[in-house]
Amino acid sequence: MTGTAGIVASGHEATSAAGRQVLEAGGNAFDAVLGALCASMVCEPMLTSLAGGGFLLARPANKPPEVFDFFVQTPKRKRPEAELDFHPVVADFGTAEQEFHVGLGAAAVPGTAAGLAEIHDALGALPLAEVLAPAIALARQGVEVTPYQAYISTVLREIVSLSPEATALVAPEPLPTDPKDLRPAVAGETTRNPELADAFEALAREGVRWFYGGEPAQRLVADCRDHGGLLTLEDLAEYEVIRRRPVHTRAFGAEFWFNPPPSPGGSLVAFALALLEPLPLRSAAWDAPESRLAVVRAMEAANRLRSDTVMDRLDEALAADLLSEKTLATWRGETQASDRFSRGTTHLSVVDEHGNLASLTSSNGEGCGYVIPDTGIMVNNMLGEEDLNPDGFHRWTPGVRLASMMCPTLARLADGGEVALGTGGSNRIRGAVLQVLLNLCAFGLPLQRAVDSPRMHLEGTQLSLEAGLPAVAENALAGHAEAQGWPEIERWPEPSLFFGGVHAAERLPGGGFRGVGDFRRGGAVDANQG
């Protein structure tokens, strides 16, 4: 092989392969992560889209890390709620259910297309047409549906069935002549999206203004006007990518960089790490009762802090205040006193031989059910995501970035290795990232075990435990839950995508690469050895 050595971790084998192909063509980590991002829109069409949003935490070689914020934005104008196409649907995970809201009235101003263009202009090495080539080929030739993707179509069946165009994104080839015969593909069948291939080619040929001011924009805005949406040409034309300084902290002999405010997820993970850092975790096993209790207490503190303080002030000083000795001392006292210490999102991680690191989290929510005509692009439903609208639906401030729990992360480990990681999973994101980082840095697990190990999730007073924890740890957690007055613990019978899908790429201190695609989300790794 030739080109640039590096490794790609993602949620689908074909997505990782697309990133690897970009590396083979001589692209750097940022070219590869963009190529993989566009491939993921073919492989994971319900989770990511050019009409969604996200974040890239980038560390160019020998330069400080920087965040490219291309998350969605609220429209500049509201309209009466009675006029909106906005209604609930239920996603059924089997063991748990979650309600989302969809329809054109749930669509926020998309940022992914703008983010792709800005990242490429700032950090890319290849022409955009070469970066998009693997995704274009994949969209035309088709991709085999994995069991995970078939499951996602089942979980989101209420959204998939909202329109023939939405169903067609996940329908097997060849498409039936009668739209009534459309159905989601099952594992092993092939899906194609040739209209999306055309869209990628138009984007490479005409530039990002094609999406924000050309025919796709015109069609989207007209349908929003006529069918209960909010987006205008002004909303699209004035959208801008924002470049931010990441949250930076140290703990457990490692150095971390996270997504900054107005997205609070990174600050809350940094806070939880700092809260736990003085405890003797490194002398305990990751699955010991005392370890699990400590992690749950830190998750509880972060949840309480988010509810009580964080969402009222999503400014640049937030992280510094959360990590101040005064704040940490207060919360350490509370967490240690309790006991003696004894949503439609995907993530891509790429590292390359030059020292470039890319951690990119992208989301379409679950999609609003509307597909821009002749593009194969489903539009996001971020205004219908409860976690992104904590004050209630329709109460958003016009013309501002929505706050997200997305937490693309970079870490420099104590041994000098460097890791890019992150996850999808809505409000489970920060907990999954925290647990993997602790497994790596506090408990000393290798990357594969750090990702594969069973997880926990605390939502309000509901503690969910993934299958695989030792009985003694589960019993200790049950005792803590009882003492806190929480309802009965929810024990999952098997590992589940509910607990996130952490895809990680590592550059080893002695040279070489290692990567993990989380099995919970059908993850896959591909590498170019150069």
Tokens 């041994």 locate to 415
Question: Which tokens go with 491?
Answer: 């024990």
Beta-carbon contacts of 117 under 8 Å, excluding residues fewer than 6 positions away, are 128, 203, 207, 208
Cβ–Cβ under 8 Å, residues 235 and 46: no
Residue 205: Cβ within 10 Å count: 10
Amino acid at 364: N
434/412 Cα distance (integer angstroms): 15
| Given the residues 345, 346, 375, 409, the one annotated as active site | 345
Answer whether 409's CB lies under 8 Å from 257's CB.
Answer: yes
Contact at 8 Å (CB) between 276 and 294? yes
Amino acid letter, 89: V
User: Residue 60 corresponds to which tokens in the numbers above?
Assistant: 């160019």
Find, among 7, 13, 350, 347, the residue nearest to 149 by Cα. 13
CA–CA gap between residue 365 and residue 382 (Å, rounded): 6
Name residue, tokens 């920060």.
430
Structure tokens at 317: 């000083």
Residue whose pair of structure tokens reads 């329109």 in the numeric block: 163
Q: Can you say how many angstroms the Cα of residue 177 is from the centroid of all Cα atoms in its chain?
A: 36
Spatial distance between the Cα atoms of 208 and 374, rounded to a whole number of angstroms: 17
DSSP classification of residue 44: S
Catalytic residue check, 167 = no
In the block, which residue shows the tokens 């972060």? 302
Residue found by looking up tokens 């993602």 in the block: 10
**Concatenated DSSP letters for 419-454?**
EEEE---GGGHHHHHHHHHHHHHTS---HHHHHHS-
Q: Which residues form the catalytic set?
A: 345
